[in-house]
């Protein structure tokens, strides 16, 4: 092991004069900070030969765990300690801002507003070219390379290129989409279709509480508006103004209480109206007859009734 290696691993001894310059370091920290936000002296750490950093508590609101670091130094064989730098540094338990994330990763659904532009990456996995180029156009086609070169040559002879409007280059994907009426250079890839279907199924799919309590699914509902394309095999648009998904794309396995064929609630039973028989009458005696044996045969005297 060399002497240089030994010296590099040996802890530096703080310079005595630099360590004693606490008041100089405090004055520098108070000059850089607001009054009253520099706290107690925490420690002094040797940064090199005759270089020491003094740490002070930071009492400023919102900077919990931060420290004011003031580095002082002195020249060789000099007795005057001078100021090197003053900075506010976070400690081990400091309150820090979250790690910076690029805007493309911070963006969430619903963040875009009127006038905002969201550029799409050329290598976006959700998109793929609308024309793969596997079927090359014939030489006499308007989108062939030979015809593109011929048209460019003719345009150069009769037209000033400075005023030629920007049009899709013949033979390009954009021109093919223009001719086919698609007007789309890229379309959804299989990955884009799957991610979109998963995202829509989370909001209006079979696993939602509304669908679990529905009497039937949307596939048999008369308010479902069918859509075209491959997504039409699994999704549709709800047109029930009283439903929770009106105007939204719903899974065919979704459902709600507004199903067009939902069973009507049974009418509660009512008691039958009373029937009055006016063709017969029943006799109810006011006094019991003597032959029943429940009353005496003779009428009670007035004295028996307690009357005078």
Residue pLDDT, tens place only, 227-251: 988 889 999 999 998 888 999 999 9
Choice among 168-177, 184-193, 285-294 with the minimum mean pLDDT: 168-177
What is the rounded distance in angstroms from the CA atom of residue 41 to the CA atom of residue 92?
A: 17
pLDDT value for 51: 94
- Separation between Cα atoms, residue 218 and residue 225, nearest integer Å: 10
pLDDT band at residue 88, thresholds of 50, 70 and 90? very high
Q: Reply yes or no on whether the pLDDT at 107 is more than 70.
A: yes
In this prediction the pTM is 0.42
Own/partner long-range contacts of 207-216 (Cβ < 8 Å, ≥24 apart): 208/254, 210/244, 210/254, 210/255, 210/256, 211/253, 211/254, 211/255, 211/256, 213/257, 214/254, 214/255, 214/256, 214/257, 214/259, 215/255, 215/257, 215/259, 215/262, 215/263, 216/255, 216/259, 216/261, 216/262
- Checking if the pLDDT of 288 tops 50, the result is yes
Q: In sequence order, which ranges of the chain are alpha helices (DSSP H)? A: 3-9, 16-20, 22-32, 103-106, 145-158, 173-180, 190-203, 209-212
Question: Mean pLDDT over residues 240-264, rounded?
Answer: 86
Q: Which residue has the higher pLDDT, 130 or 303?
A: 130
The pLDDT value recorded for residue 76 is: 87
State how far the Cα of 99 lies from the Cα of 88, in Å rounded to an integer: 18
pLDDT at 67: 92
Q: What is the DSSP letter of 246?
A: B
73 pLDDT higher than 90: yes
Range of lowest pLDDT (67-76, 142-151, 187-196): 142-151
- Residue 1: pLDDT band by 50, 70, 90 thresholds? very low
The mean pLDDT value for 210-216 works out to 88
Give me the percent of the chain exceeding a pLDDT of 70: 66
User: Is the model's pLDDT at 40 over the cut of 70?
Assistant: yes
């Amino acid at each position: 092991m060399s002497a240089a290696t030994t010296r590099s691993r040996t802890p530096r001894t703080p310079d005595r004069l630099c360590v004693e310059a606490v008041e100089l370091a405090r004055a520098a920290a108070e000059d850089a900070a607001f009054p009253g936000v520099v706290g107690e002296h925490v420690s002094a750490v040797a940064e090199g030969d005759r270089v020491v950093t003094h740490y002070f508590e930071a009492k400023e609101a919102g900077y919990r765990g931060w420290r004011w670091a003031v580095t002082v130094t002195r020249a060789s064989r000099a007795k005057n300690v001078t100021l090197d730098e003053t900075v506010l540094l976070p400690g081990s338990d400091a309150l820090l801002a979250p790690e910076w994330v690029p805007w493309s990763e911070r963006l969430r659904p619903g963040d875009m507003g009127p006038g905002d532009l969201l550029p799409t990456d050329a290598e976006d996995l959700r998109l793929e070219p609308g024309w793969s180029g596997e079927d090359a156009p014939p030489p006499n086609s308007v989108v062939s390379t030979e015809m593109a070169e011929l048209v460019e040559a003719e345009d150069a002879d009769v037209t000033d290129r400075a005023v030629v409007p920007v049009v899709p280059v013949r033979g390009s994907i954009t021109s093919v989409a223009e001719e086919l009426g698609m007007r789309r250079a890229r379309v959804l890839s299989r990955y884009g279709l799957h991610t979109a279907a998963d995202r829509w199924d989370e909001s209006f799919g079979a696993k939602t509480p509304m669908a679990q309590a529905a009497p039937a699914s949307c596939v048999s509902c008369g308010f479902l508006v069918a859509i075209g394309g491959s997504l039409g095999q699994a999704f549709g648009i709800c047109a029930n103004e009283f439903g929770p998904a009106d105007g939204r794309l719903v899974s065919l396995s979704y459902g709600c209480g507004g199903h067009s064929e939902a069973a009507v609630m049974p009418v509660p039973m009512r008691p039958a109206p009373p029937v009055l028989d006016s063709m017969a009458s029943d006799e109810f005696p006011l006094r019991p007859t003597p032959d029943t044996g429940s009353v005496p045969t003779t009428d009670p005297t007035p004295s028996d009734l307690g009357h005078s």
